[in-house]
């Protein structure tokens, strides 16, 4: 049986939704940069012979990558945050409060 939606749903304040979306940007930004840095660093460090050389090569490659493509990565993270917030997927960004 499908539950019926409440007859009088409580709307969430749009300003609160915007503030919560901005707060959600921080972990999305951190996780995105960690993921991209790990992938770039792992690819660069995979061809080295020792752990120390791999760490140095990965850190250097990630730095160069973020200097070149960092603005695109930032834009992608902003876009993901906006899209997930507008759809109400991120917690606290839904249009209606849950009862």
What's the pLDDT tens digit per position in 5-17?
A: 666 778 888 899 9
Average confidence (pLDDT) over 45-74: 94
pTM: 0.83
Residues of the chain with pLDDT > 90: what percent? 74
Burial of 10 per CB tally in 10 Å (0-12, 13-18, 19+): exposed
The full set of domain ranges for the chain reads 61-94
31 vs 86: CA distance, rounded Å = 20
Average confidence (pLDDT) over 35-58: 93
């Amino acid at each position: 049986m499908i539950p019926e939606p409440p007859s009088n749903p409580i709307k969430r304040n749009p300003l609160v939704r915007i503030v919560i979306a901005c707060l959600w940007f921080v972990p999305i930004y951190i996780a995105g940069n960690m993921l991209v840095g790990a992938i770039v660093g792992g690819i660069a460090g995979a061809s080295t012979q020792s752990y120390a050389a791999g760490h140095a090569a990965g850190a250097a490659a990630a730095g160069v990558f973020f200097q070149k493509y960092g603005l695109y990565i930032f834009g992608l993270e902003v876009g993901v945050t906006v899209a997930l917030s507008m759809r109400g997927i991120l917690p606290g960004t839904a249009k209606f409060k849950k009862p």
